[in-house]
Amino acid sequence: MHIAIIMDGNGRWASQRRLPRTAGHRVGAKSVRAIVEAAARRGVETLSLYAFSAANWSRPDAEVSALFSLLRRYLGSQTQRCLEQSIRINVIGRRDRLGPSLLQLIERSEAATAHGSRMLLRIAVDYSAQHSLIETSRRLGAAGPVDRSQFIEHLAAVDHAATVVPGVDLLIRTGGEKRLSDFLLWECAYAELLFLDTLWPDFDEPAFAEALEEFARRDRRFGRIASTNESHLSHA
């Protein structure tokens, strides 16, 4: 299955404790490590994490710098751990606004873990689903008729995706907000949405397990009628 997570609430977690927002991001990074490993243990095939949106550039410079510092630290410290656990790292999103040193670190992490087959870990950085869809449409503008599979392949290329992945099965958003915030709009067409009040630094493995249990209770119909009714009609 493909799980996507909007990791929201780091700043509020810190504010509630009268700490700088950057402290919330640091604790939130620990949650990232815990949830990545929990997802791999539970057989999740693809995990997409919203680390830095295109809109986040409007935050104070100090906070932006802190977020990218945490990303560098994560890639530097966790690439080997992901390699050992056969987890493939892929950073999706724009790359034209990232610094050369960060780009090199991203490319090294992706190359080092390229053969990981246990789980694909996608980290969205400078990501905007609207930008991705517009850019894909722009590139295909002169291509003539395009079918769905071709569009998906071009969208993956725009996002620097390592491979085309199935649509999102479950999208989790922590922090109490109930919106997608420009994250994986195409991929979430039939996703089950789960909005939690838990702030991201407090989201741990038991909370993740509860989210999976909630997902298991959902009846995913993809536009069809309920399975019980289908069974009844098939015997009518």
pLDDT tens, residue by residue, 171-181: 999 999 999 99
Q: Model's pTM, two decimal places?
A: 0.91
| Model pLDDT for residues 80-137, shown as the tens digit of each residue | 999 999 999 999 999 999 999 999 999 999 999 999 999 999 999 999 999 999 999 9
| Residue 202: HSE in the Cβ half-sphere, 13 Å Cα cutoff | 14
Q: Is 56 a catalytic residue?
A: yes
Domain ranges in the chain are 2-130+163-234
Using alpha carbons only, how large is the chain's radius of gyration in Å?
Answer: 19
> So what CATH class is 2-130+163-234?
alpha beta
Q: Strands, E, within 117-224: which ranges? A: 119-127, 170-173, 192-195
What token pair was written down for 113?
């873990």
Work out whether strand 87-92 and strand 170-173 pair parallel, antiparallel, or are unpaired. unpaired
- Of the candidates 56, 182, 202, 204, the residue annotated as catalytic is 56
Q: Is 8 a catalytic residue?
A: yes
